[in-house]
Structure 1
């Protein structure tokens, strides 16, 4: 229920859709209720300008990306039990259609995990991720497993969890497989903007995680003043950040995370 509700609610409140619905409603109301039509048109145009062209999207995503800082340690030191790779980098539809693993702009999650796997030869490699689609379907866990094997990772080091649909299920389902102890340390690999929510969830279920943020979407705080090259890019960045901020609040209210805004 939580999964379905989160998908439906976010569809209606994500900024790009709010802008579209406001412009559509404003245009329709102009014929009979021009005062309200103008108000809705102003809301829609305001979102497009502030978050599509001006750097509103960067202002939303930067606190998320900077929460754990830029990655300064090439390889975590000390005993590492395993490297947990969160799904989201796979292009599921293209992978299934083409028969080979296809990746999206979050591909650094995969490439950095592979680099860590070679640098930490005794650590397990755990991939967790099914399909996050509201309309069902399966993920592409087996092509991910085969990618690691083809890259030289021993099959007995690889653990696959293929049923989770969101980050909370990532943590719960992998815990059932791995049964982590308090002395274990797990490198958590995910996109920098997604790291605060991920860390809070994994801590909540009992993991001792070492955050390893990748896939940064900004260069740093200098992008707080940088407009976007296209409105589509700005709105996409805004939707990305809004999903995380809403997710942080929703998971905190439902008791699924260790803090409202988890940090180091």
Structure 2
């Protein structure tokens, strides 16, 4: 798991620096011109041009907008019904206060008697922010070990299902919601999704990476059978 997270961070840093992508592709395209006798010259140059076109098409604002819509197209609306618990997933400093605000508003609207925070490095801090908003200790619980969406769902199920919690309001951002919804269902929860807004200062390239990472995550989780309910 540690190696996978390190690899994911490396890919993220690489994607956030376009020079690291465009420079190798430019070399692939230009190499045949620098070495005229190079074998497979046309094939190499054609491959480089195709990869450049794929990169610019994939990262265009239109492609990202369409891909973002695809991630939310199958997510049901919040039905407004009461549930056993509100589960809020951590995402990092930039996302924390907004998610806490949403969770507090839902609790104050009497949607659930309990708020459960999930996520290593986030859960305990979200609990402190919720306490500062006047949410009583008996209405708060958390786990701060999970580092992936699968672990969010698995550890939340370990803690809450033994207490009879089955129906939850799930709080996360729109790109992450579909995978989270299906994963929590896989672990036996009846899930009502409630999306939290993206940070207003989120960099466009970071949003692009999030969207395509979610598609990769859906494929990966689907292959591993994590998106289907247990029998």
Q: Which category describes the TM-score, using the shorter chain as reference length?
A: 0.7 to 0.9
Structure of greater Rg: 2
Partner of 1:66 in structure 2?
Answer: 73
Kindly report which structure 2 residues correspond to 1:133-172, keeping only aligned pairs within 5 A, or say none: 139-172=121-154
TM-score, normalising length: structure 1: 0.69
Report the CA distance between 1:203 and its aligned residue.
0.7
What is the root-mean-square deviation in Å for CA atoms of aligned residues? Answer: 3.2
* Closer/same/farther in 2, CA of residues 15 and 106 from structure 1, 3 Å limit: farther
Match among 192, 203, 226 for residue 185 of structure 2:
203
Change (3 A) 1:187 1:180: farther
Contact kept? 1:128, 1:174, Cα under 8 Å: yes
Contact 2:67–2:211 (CA<8 Å) still a contact in 1?
yes
CA contact (8 A) 2:14 2:21 kept: no
Please report the TM-score for the alignment, with normalisation by the length of structure 2. 0.78
**Structure richer in helix, relative to its length:** 2
1:177 maps to which residue?
159
Deviations 1:57-104 (A, max 9, x none): 1111111123225x565xx224x211000111x32xxxxxxxxxxxx1
Match of 1:57 in 2: 64
Residue 253 (1) aligns with residue 229 (2): no
Higher relative contact order (CA 8 A, sep 6+): 1
User: Unaligned 5+ residue runs, structure 2?
Assistant: none
Identify if the C-alpha distance between structure 1 residues 127 and 196 changes in structure 2 by more than 3 Å, giving closer, same or farther.
same
Give the Å deviation of 1:252.
Answer: 1.1
Q: Which residue of the partner structure matches residue 51 of structure 2? A: 43
Q: For each residue in 1:102-134, what CA deviation from the matched residue of structure 2 results, as whole angstroms up to 9, or x when unmatched?
A: xx157532221110011127511000001xxxx
